[in-house]
Amino acid sequence: MNSFESLKTLSEAFGVSGYEDEVVEILKTNFEKYAKVYRDRIGSVIAQKNGTSENPKIMFAAHMDEIGFMVKEITKDGFIKFLPIGGWWDGNLPGMRVKIKNKKGEIIPGVIGLKPIHELSPEERKKLPEIESMYIDVGATQNFVVSEKLGIRPGDPIIPYGQFEQMANTDLLLSKAWDDRIGCALLIDILKELAVIEHPNTVYLVGTVQEEVGLRGAKTSASLIQPDIAFALDVSICRDTPGNGADAKEKLGAGVAILIYDRTMIPHKNLRDFVIELAEINNIPYHLTSIKGGYDTGAIHLTNFGVPSLALGIPTRYVHSASSIISYEDYTNLLKLAVLIVKNLSGEVMEQILK
């Protein structure tokens, strides 16, 4: 499976928080070709790639879960009330096509419904619709059709419908769930690169669960691995769209995003500078950025007595919506930088970073 195939397969996979099974199987199938693979007790999948030295232990984390929804209840008329899983902006939801997975693993299509604009009062039109007023229409008319014939029940997971597309500018890729299936694809490609080179460390490539609901898999997998240094591989915010200003440095094609701040962590400054220097020496485009959200490193860096950590990403348009856009060139640049980090991060270098 090449990078494009991985990106397509992973982005289209069903994997809302707590239901990451499809993504787990994709990662396991690819990991097992090159490394020892195991899981923690809540489901994160770990590939351990041994190098020429046991230490330092380097952890790369990418979360497998995507934002989505969960069935809350079924009305007597056959409509489905639902809960958000992860951070949604309610204004994006009306009219969104979705997929519900029932207890048998069957996919039932639906659409998020809301009172039509023609029926809204003048006051209602001024307000942003709230998720509590929305429902999912699966084309049923009675409760028994939904629960018995379609097998849908409270607790069933829901994701937005999304299809991978290469855009008119063929460097740009459109799909759902780039947050964080780009990171998952990177884990596979990093491991492929490491399989044919020597590296002075042990590398752990981790697909984490339940990042979107509280960095949960990052915490448990880091407790199991006990890493010396850690990186999150994820999306960053793209600010090159109307309303953000022409001078924004966070653009598609702007290279690797090195996070200098997020709400869960201020990165280890020596590790940050080590990565910046690697990028500059090797002519890898990058930019420094910050976000108001958080990354898996927010949980990992607090493991035991502390783990120097850094979040790396690529600019992504329309994160936390049903469709988002990335640059494949940015993806390949982050892959190059991640491999360089592994090749250069020896025990001696780690000691210098920790000074």
- Catalytic residue numbers? 211
Helices vs. strands in the chain: H and E counts, helices first:
10, 17
Which one-letter DSSP state was computed for residue 220? H
Length in residues, the chain: 355
Q: Do the Cβ atoms of 161 and 322 come closer than 8 Å?
A: yes
Do 238 and 317 touch, CB atoms closer than 8 A? yes
CA distances from 226 to 274, 303, 318 (A): 21, 7, 34
Looking at residue 129, the DSSP 8-state letter turns out to be P
Q: Please indicate if the annotation marks 234 as binding a ligand.
A: yes
Which stretches does DSSP call E strand in 161-253? 165-166, 172-175, 202-208, 229-237
Task: Consult the annotation and say whether 320 binds a ligand.
Answer: yes
Closest CA to 25 of 40, 36, 14, 41: 14
Annotated binding residue at 63?
yes
Handedness of CA 68, 317, 129, 164 (dihedral sign): negative
Annotated binding-site ranges: 63, 179, 212, 234, 320
